């Protein structure tokens, strides 16, 4: 790794470790295989969002051209959000693309990703299906996002339980995650999800 990038990452890593967010359990950052090019981030789901109570892991890959180019970051924890791919975990956030500035740090990027969970941008989506649900049926989106937070991010059990429908598809031979994706995509309509899965 280029010397400038390594020095910068080491400094930023220390900055994150000393931050009030780490002390408060909001952020976490660790090295993967003692490498400064691969890190694992963790953010807490923000209060008063469907992600509250969840813990979301992020894969962070730092290029040799850092800080002149942004780190590549994706969600490792599955999440139902208009600006995050429910399949790959790719994040649609301007500062990770064309609005990147060398003055930004890992801490500000992690906080920006956490802020994105509080303020979705459904008109600039990474996941069109989730964005459509967000725009057309906010209540159902919220219930679905809470369900995914509970199942994948260790969040609290939601009031409305979708597991019965997931189990029905599971009993038909569909694996649990594919069943959940189909049901989430078709607004938890079992008939439409089943039709899609057995086309």
Q: Report, as residue numbers or ranges, the catalytic residues.
A: 92
Tell me the DSSP string of 6-69: HHHHHHHHHHHHHSHHHHTTSEEEEEETTEEEEEEEEEEPPTTSTTTT-EEEEEEE--TTTTSS
Residues near 60 by Cβ (< 8 Å), separated by ≥ 6?
29, 38, 39, 40, 41, 71, 72, 73, 106
Q: Could you identify the residue written with the tokens 């989730």?
A: 130
Answer yes or no: are the C-beta atoms of 29 and 40 closer than 8 Å.
yes
CA atoms of 131 and 182, how far apart (whole Å): 15
Q: Which helix (H) or strand (E) holds 192?
A: helix 190-197
Q: Which two tokens stand for residue 63?
A: 């290029």
């Amino acid at each position: 790794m280029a010397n400038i990038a390594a020095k910068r990452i080491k400094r930023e890593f220390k900055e994150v470790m000393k931050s009030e967010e780490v002390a408060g359990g909001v952020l976490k950052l660790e090295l993967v295989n003692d490498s400064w090019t691969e890190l694992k981030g963790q953010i807490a789901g923000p209060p008063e969002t469907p992600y509250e109570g969840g813990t979301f892991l992020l894969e962070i890959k730092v290029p040799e051209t850092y800080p002149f180019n942004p780190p590549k970051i994706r969600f490792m924890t599955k999440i139902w959000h208009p600006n995050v791919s429910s399949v790959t975990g790719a994040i649609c956030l301007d500062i990770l693309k064309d609005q990147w500035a060398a003055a930004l740090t890992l801490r500000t990027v992690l906080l920006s990703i956490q802020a994105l969970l509080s303020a979705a941008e459904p008109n600039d989506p990474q996941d069109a299906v989730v964005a459509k649900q967000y725009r057309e049926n906010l209540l159902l989106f919220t219930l679905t996002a809470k369900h995914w937070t509970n199942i994948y991010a260790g969040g609290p059990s939601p009031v409305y339980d979708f597991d019965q429908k997931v189990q029905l598809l599971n009993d038909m031979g569909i694996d649990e995650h594919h069943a959940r994706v189909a049901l989430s995509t078709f607004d938890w309509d079992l008939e439409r999800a089943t039709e899609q899965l057995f086309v």
